[in-house]
Amino acid sequence: MTDLEPKSISYKRARFRTTLPAGRLYSPSHFWMEEQETSGVWRAGFTKFAARMLGDLVEHDFEVKPGDAIEVGQIIGWIEGFKATSDLYSCLNGSFRRSNPELLENLDFLRSDPYRRGWIFEAEGNPGDDAVDVHGYAQVLNLAIDKVLEQEQA
């Protein structure tokens, strides 16, 4: 990102509004990915949209251990909310490094601070081929929100 590029963009559609960090990649499955200072190490977490759709969360766990090979689309764990349990899918190809230890004490970081303290896991490797920049993700959000609105009107 150059000094001329914004650090984030504001997004609003229907009743949903958020600020999206610009220096990250995003997956169509509503994960953000940020390369860390150690080249090839990526931190991943839910976008604010995903966190909002999941609702109140109570528990999570991983099925993979540090050093395990992971690939995009692979189930790597689960997350439980008051309404349902959902699988956690990898948005990265490579080697699982660790989960966020802060989430063991406060899972609410996924909703209250999704782009900083609410990261979910780290992996060494690369994002999937379907990863997009912040502007591409805004288009993904447009489609997702339109789908939600259509379901509400049906």
pLDDT tens-digit map of 58-74: 999 999 999 999 999 99
Q: E strands, 24-131, where?
A: 25-26, 31-35, 41-46, 57-62, 69-70, 75-81, 85-89, 92-99, 121-127
> What's the CA gap between 74 and 87, in Å, rounded?
10
* CB contact at 8 A, 53 and 147: no
Confidence of residue 85 (pLDDT cuts 50, 70, 90): confident
Please state which CATH number belongs to domain 24-153.
2.40.50.100
Predicted pLDDT at 105: 93
Count of C-beta atoms within a 10 Å radius of residue 50: 19
**What residues form DSSP beta bridges with 123?**
42, 96
**49 pLDDT exceeds 50?**
yes
